[in-house]
Amino acid sequence: MARAPDAVTIVTGGAGFLGSHLCTRLIAGGARVIAIDNLSTGNRANVAHLHATGRFSLIEHDIIMPIEISEDVSAIYNLACPASPPKYQIDPVHTFRTSIDGAHNMLELAKRKTARILQASTSEVYGDPEMSPQPESYFGAVNTYGPRACYDEGKRGAETLFYEYARAHGLETRIARIFNTYGPRMDAQDGRVVSNFVVQALAGDDITVYGTGRQTRSFCYVDDLIDGLIRLMNSDDGINGPVNLGNPREFTVLELAEMVLDKTGSPSRLRFLDALQDDPKQRRPDITLAHTLLGWQPTVSLHDGLDRMIAHFAQAPEQQRATALS
């Protein structure tokens, strides 16, 4: 499908952790980018460096409401939605609507603009999986009636909307199932395990481990994930279903904690708390499809990625600490 040479790329959630990295990479590649963000979890500071390029603008808007863009649009990356349990549980109804109403509004915009659209889905669609690693063909084991359901089921519903729009309207859609991602620009108060451990270790606070710590996660550095998203968006038309994007190397939460303590030289001690409801016991992606169709696989090890993230958080410890306590 031919695109106007001056068409823009839209990134919803563009001032957030993943969105700001995506905007930066797209602009570095020559794109003109409009970020849409309601700033509930995003931060203007994450994209402040992009305004000087002359090819970036930020619209403060909540995508649960429709929006019209006057310019030609070639692509839409739909990343808008809080991704950490403490954030999305603040207003679970709004979280669910962001996934469902937000996806619907962006799909309608894509249809009007004849733009390709990518949905940032999640490994949470697999719930507490009964098989490992998790391939895209696995239907998951999700609790529809629990504290995580607003996010998990919202993302599953958004995938269904993307499927139906592609089938009924011939829309060019892509779906990325994103596994645990970490790196610079994560909010110090994000509440996810990597940022929690790094902030706590740098401050000398106890490292809080929920449950036994033997539950596993697979951690993907943000640069690798952004590369995967762009490859998926630009992929051939033959890719119609979801594609896992994550690092298949598996670590226990305790292994992550010990690694952070070793790298920071922190005197912090481990403090064990009750396990969280519906917290997955194992999470590891099967990335065969991404490797085969996109030629993609992660290149940054957890050891190297943690070094970069710790250096970022250590640059302004007072600011990071204040953010964590706000």
The closest alpha carbon to 186, from 156, 225, 152, 128, belongs to 225
Options 88, 126, 151, 221, the catalytic residue: 151
Structure tokens at 233: 């968006």
The neighbour count for residue 234, using CB atoms within 10 Å, is 12
E strand segments, 13-145: 33-37, 56-60, 73-78, 116-122
Distances (CA, A) of 197 to 39, 87, 156, 201: 25, 17, 29, 6
Side chain identity at residue 203, one-letter code: A
Active site residue 163: no
Contact call for residues 203 and 195 (beta carbons, < 8 A): no
CA 7 to chain centroid, in Å, comes to 25
Active site positions, annotated: 151
